[in-house]
Amino acid sequence: MYEVLLKIKEKLEGKFGGIKHIFIEDPNVIPTSSMPCIAVDPRSTSIDIADTGRDLFEYTIDIILIMDITRELGKPGNEVVGNKFLTTTMEGMDANNKLKKNTIISIIRENLELEKNLKIGNVSDISYGPEVRQQAVTKEAKITIIVQKFSVR
């Protein structure tokens, strides 16, 4: 699975202004100087028999957009930008209701075929909300994807 995580990280790198770091795994402690950031976090692997000579590996992976909530403290309600940043970076659309090119969802959609025998098979819900980490309270958006890989036995 680690190679799959690296492949997804590679597809996300350099696509977003303001993202300071992309982590492999969801780090417990994130320096505030590294936020906003993205974590590509492995959740699980399931293995099924595909046919007589191949196995199907399904990797469940979270892509987490993380920002420091303290940048919101003291701002009047109409100036709070956290939700706007999270939603536009994750799933922002233009005036014609098409995904903007520099969103996490559009990058996933453009890279459904990661390489031969490796594809993104499913994209599930996006969740938004605050999280308490060891050093900070953050606002986060998380999307879960399923990556499928056929392997010859």
Q: How far apart are CA 113 and CA 11, in angstroms?
A: 11
Supply the pTM of this predicted model.
Answer: 0.90
Q: Is the pLDDT of residue 73 over 80?
A: no
Whats the size of the chain, residue-wise? 153
Question: For residue 5, is pLDDT > 90?
Answer: yes
Domain ranges within the chain, ordered by starting residue: 2-152
User: In the numeric block, which tokens belong to residue 136?
Assistant: 């900070």
Q: What is the mean pLDDT of the chain?
A: 90
Domain 2-152 has CATH 3.30.70.1700: yes
Hey, is 132 helix, strand or coil?
strand
Q: What is the CA radius of gyration of the chain?
A: 17
Question: Once rounded to an integer, what is the mean pLDDT over residues 77-85?
Answer: 74
pLDDT score, position 81: 67
Q: How far apart are CA 59 and CA 42, in angstroms?
A: 8
Q: Going by C-beta distance under 8 Å and a sequence separation of 6 or more, which residues neighbour residue 6?
A: 24
Residue that is written with structure tokens 């659309």 in the block? 93
pLDDT tens, position by position, 94-144 = 999 999 988 999 999 998 999 888 999 888 789 998 888 887 889 999 999
Has residue 14 got a pLDDT over 70? yes
Q: pLDDT band at residue 8, thresholds of 50, 70 and 90?
A: very high
Give yes or no for a contact between 15 and 100, defined as CB atoms under 8 angstroms apart. Answer: no
The per-residue pLDDT for 79 is 64
pLDDT tens-digit profile of 24-41? 999 888 888 899 999 999
Burial annotation 87-123 (CB, 10 A radius, 16+ → b, else e): bebbbbeeeeeebeeebbbbbbeebeebeeebebeeb
